[in-house]
Amino acid sequence: MTLTIENHTLTIGDHSEPLPHLPQAARVHVWAVPTEYRASGYFVSVQAHGQPVELPACDAADATSLGALDLPASEAAQLDAARAERLAATNAQTDQLLAALSAAYPEREVLSWDQQLKEAAAYAIDPLAPTPLLGALAQARGIDLAALALKVLEKGELYAVGSGRILGARQRIEDMLAAAATAEDVNAVPAITELLADLEQAA
């Protein structure tokens, strides 16, 4: 029985079936098996080199090995894997950068940050707007409510700009990875810290 692989399609005599596109080279093993076990009459297993071979689950006496062939790595799968790896690394770095940005503020303050911004924005529009949290903070700190509301808005703007630059850089890298046509193109995409440094220099 002649076995061939072309364009990730295995041909066994007059029978053909598609093979998976893997980012690494693999070995394809083929057995003739009862049609009650496989309707095609063939059992095909595909394992990366070094991995144990998957054997037919039917009675061993009913399975006949027809041979094995090498399956080359798929360039498309390699590209997808490279993209996914770089994007995962970028997401992890993004989380670290955002965490470092938030670390400049006490955790308890961060928990009330949305409410502070909401009250400060309302106060900027209408000084008679209710500001229970800001009012209590201003009284405890012994400062004017208007001054505190302004500080909150300024701090919120700084955080928004900082986090926006980080998230924008992450999205730009995601776009660059999506446009990458080869693994070399993926490797040429800068790390988010490099991209942010370039943006700082250009500013």
Same domain, 85 and 185: yes
Same domain, 87 and 137: yes
Same domain, 92 and 134: yes
Residue 20 confidence (pLDDT) above 90: yes
Same domain, 36 and 92: no
Mean pLDDT of the chain: 92
Helix, strand, or coil (residue 82)? helix
Q: 117's torsion region: left (phi>0), alpha (psi -120 to 50) or beta?
A: alpha
- Helix/strand number for the chain, H first, E second: 7, 6
**Which parts of 8-153 are beta strand (E)?**
9-12, 15-18, 26-32, 42-48, 64-71
pLDDT of the residue at 178: 95
Domain tally for the chain? 2
Least confident of 108-112, 138-142, 144-148: 108-112
CA distance between the termini of the chain: 67
Same domain, 46 and 30: yes
Nearest alpha carbon to residue 28 among 48, 58, 13: 48
Task: Give the residue from 14, 46, 73 where a domain finishes.
Answer: 73
Task: Give the model's confidence band at 199: pLDDT under 50 very low, under 70 low, under 90 confident, else very high.
Answer: confident
pLDDT of the residue at 202: 75
Same domain, 27 and 125: no
* Domain hosting residue 35, numbered range: 3-73
- Paired tokens of 172: 């730009």
pLDDT of the residue at 73: 92
Same domain, 61 and 82: no
The 10s digit of each residue's pLDDT in 154-178 is: 988 988 999 999 999 999 999 999 9
Same domain, 29 and 119: no
- CA angle 101-172-75, nearest 5°? 125
Task: Give the residue from 73, 90, 123 where a domain finishes.
Answer: 73
Residue 203 confidence (pLDDT) above 70: no
Considering just the CA atoms, what is the radius of gyration of the chain in Å?
30
- State how far the Cα of 195 lies from the Cα of 166, in Å rounded to an integer: 9
Task: Give the model's confidence band at 36: pLDDT under 50 very low, under 70 low, under 90 confident, else very high.
Answer: very high
Mean pLDDT score, 65-85? 94
DSSP of 146-178: HHHHHHHHHHHHHHHHHHHHHHHHHHHHHHHHH
Least confident of 72-76, 105-109, 142-146, 162-166: 105-109
- State how far the Cα of 186 lies from the Cα of 170, in Å rounded to an integer: 14
Cβ atoms 68, 28 nearer than 8 A = yes
Task: Give the residue from 73, 90, 114 where a domain finishes.
Answer: 73
Same domain, 96 and 29: no
pLDDT of the residue at 91: 97
